[in-house]
Amino acid sequence: MLFQGAHLNNSLKPRLWNIPISALSSERVLKRWQGSGLGFVFVLNIVGAIGLAMYKFLLQRLVQGVLVMLVVAFVAFAIFHFLGDPVNNMVGESATDADREMVRLQLGLDEPIVVQYIKFVGNILQGDFGISYRTRTSVIEQMAARLPATIELSLVSGFFSILFGIPMGIYCALQPKSWLTRNFLVGSLVGISIPTFLSGLLLIYLFSVTLGWLPSQGRGGLISFGWWDTSLLTLKGWSYILMPALTLCIYQLTLITRMVRAEMLEVIRTDYIKFARARGLSNYIVQYRHALKNSLVPVVTIIGLQLGTVVAFSIITETVFNWPGLGQMFIQSIEFVDIPVMSAYLIFVGAFFVVLNLIVDLIYALVDPRLRAA
């Protein structure tokens, strides 16, 4: 995972915050705002707290983000070449060679990849993502229709992994010798080893085929808010999302449990915890106020980035549960060599990672006062 590695490098080296502040005037404005009681605006609070190097940092990040997306799109375009020939999927078997050639010319597939890429970017800049080779529907509309499903699935799955992962990790760190800890750790090993498609199918077999409690596939119980269809407001909706979210969260869950445990164990060994105990602070305060808070810093980074991977790589889970999200759309596009949809999807994922990295950096600075430079 290219993005992840690159990001960790950046965020673990807080040198980016040490950029000299040039936007002094805006700093003054900000301070006045805060002073006059307008500081309740959350975002401004963060910016204010972190310092004004943030502006430059943000701008830099945005420029980097656009570059990342352009590179992603270009690499994608270069790879598409090896995926096969979309024309053959687009015309029936009865089409003659002349027909095929006509479609190829129409789509500009005969042109060099660089030219195709430049045209693609040009069209995007004009807000035109084109139409899908496969479904012949507008790409942007198709993605918008599927976005809510993926976002909701990722959020619920992320929520599950935090809800269970952090307490489990704390327990494992505080009670390292208990039988439950051993079970958690062995269980997490199993969880991380079983491939997603298998755990998904096992859940379907148990809860849908054998017990008949939950629907085996699809998304239902929807309530619409404009273009956003949510399945989180009805019981029926939850019956559909439960199994895919559980399947998707297993990996993150084990990761979070193990990270929280490792970080806690490390922090508990440090001098200031020993000192806190020596001062006679209660177990609760030592463990939760000092130890937990300090072990959460790297965990936040991982959770944030993992949310990105969940969104981007929920492909298998969505396929197994026929969950109508972006991952499912992407895999269908790959089979068909649906270039417009694949490109748009990859650009979206690129953008998502860039934004997520940015948010993680902001939160990171918020959690760790040492990073609030300036």
Which residues are near other proteins by CB under 8 A? 82-86, 88-103, 106-107, 123, 128, 130-131, 133-138, 141-142, 145, 197, 201, 204-205, 208-209, 212, 215-218, 319-322, 324, 328-329, 331-332, 335-337
The DSSP bridge partners found for residue 230 are: 223
Could you please report the per-residue DSSP string of 174-236?
Answer: HSTTSHHHHHHHHHHHHHHHS-HHHHHHHHIIIIIIIS--S-SSS--S-EEETTEEESSSSHH
Tokens at 213, concatenated: 């409690």
Could you tell me if 257 and 169 are in contact, meaning their C-beta atoms sit under 8 angstroms apart?
yes
Least distance in Å: CB of 192 to other proteins? 22
Residues 6+ apart with CB under 8 A from 135: 142
Least distance in Å: CB of 335 to other proteins? 7
Least distance in Å: CB of 8 to other proteins? 34
Nearer to other proteins, 71 or 105 (CB): 105
Nearer to other proteins, 234 or 332 (CB): 332
CA dihedral (255, 261, 265, 266) in degrees, to 10, reads 30
Nearer to other proteins, 86 or 298 (CB): 86
Phi-psi region of 186 (alpha: psi -120 to 50; beta: other; left: phi over 0): alpha
Tokens at 218, concatenated: 């699809």
Least distance in Å: CB of 111 to other proteins? 14
Least distance in Å: CB of 172 to other proteins? 34
Could you tell me if 9 and 15 are in contact, meaning their C-beta atoms sit under 8 angstroms apart?
no
Nearer to other proteins, 134 or 261 (CB): 134
Choose among 200, 223, 238, 163: nearest CA to 328.
200
Nearer to other proteins, 76 or 255 (CB): 76
Q: Is 102 helix (H, G, I), strand (E, B) or coil?
A: helix
Could you tell me if 373 and 14 are in contact, meaning their C-beta atoms sit under 8 angstroms apart?
yes
Nearer to other proteins, 100 or 277 (CB): 100
Tokens at 175, concatenated: 């009670």
Nearer to other proteins, 51 or 325 (CB): 325
Least distance in Å: CB of 75 to other proteins? 19
Give the HSE-up count for residue 37: Cα atoms under 13 Å, Cβ half-sphere: 0
Least distance in Å: CB of 200 to other proteins? 8
Least distance in Å: CB of 93 to other proteins? 7
Nearer to other proteins, 100 or 372 (CB): 100
Could you tell me if 315 and 42 are in contact, meaning their C-beta atoms sit under 8 angstroms apart?
no
Distance of CA 23 to the CA centre of its chain: 32
Nearer to other proteins, 109 or 262 (CB): 109
Least distance in Å: CB of 100 to other proteins? 7
